[in-house]
Amino acid sequence: MEEHEEHGGHDEHGHGEHGGPKPCVFCAITSKKIHSKIVHEDDYTVAFLDINPRSTGMTIVAPKKHYATFNEDTIASERTFSFAQTVGMMIRRALNPKAIDFAIIPSQEVPHFHIRIYPVSEGETPLMEGQPKHVGEEELEELAGRIRAERPVEEIKEHEHKQAEQPNVSEEDMDFIKRELGIA
């Protein structure tokens, strides 16, 4: 499968800027042609808040490459699954929900592979896919900021590893070392 040129060309499903049924909204979001509340991104994948969430902080994780089903590009899908786990942990730390549910529910409206992350708070049953919650722009921005503020676990582990590599020397020991070396 060919990747969109700048995510603006036609894919094999006929979704594109010139002709075809309609442009792919997720391609427009991942290429930043449409404004969204992005909470995390890398070279291959973007996570953004759903504007019609079924739960507080519902997030969509979509590959930047357009394809409709996970088996059309297993390498990109593997990255997307891993990325969704990272975002799920960021959401857990930021929002402290009772649980986090992950779902792959193909969409007739947006035939672009994606994973939905549903933080489950008290009184919410998001997987029933009932009516969306009404969420204002300010609340979406506040939620996005809280999630963005959480560093991915890989970054935390890398920081902890670097900290562990540094010698743990007390101030008293450091003074002794300086005196012994004549630099005190």
Spell out the domain ranges in the chain.
25-150
Whole-number Å distance between alpha carbons of 24 and 110: 6
Domain 25-150 in CATH 1.20.1440.230: no
- The residue ranges of the chain whose pLDDT is under 70 are 1-21, 126-131, 153-170, 173-184
How much helix, strand and coil, in percent to the nearest 5, is found in the chain? 40, 15, 50
Quote the CA–CA distance of 145 and 139 in Å, as a whole number.
Answer: 10
Query: In the block, which residue shows the tokens 């549910």?
Result: 101
Nearest to 58 by CA among 41, 39, 42: 39
pLDDT digit string, tens, across residues 59-108: 999 999 999 999 999 999 999 999 999 999 999 999 999 999 999 988 88
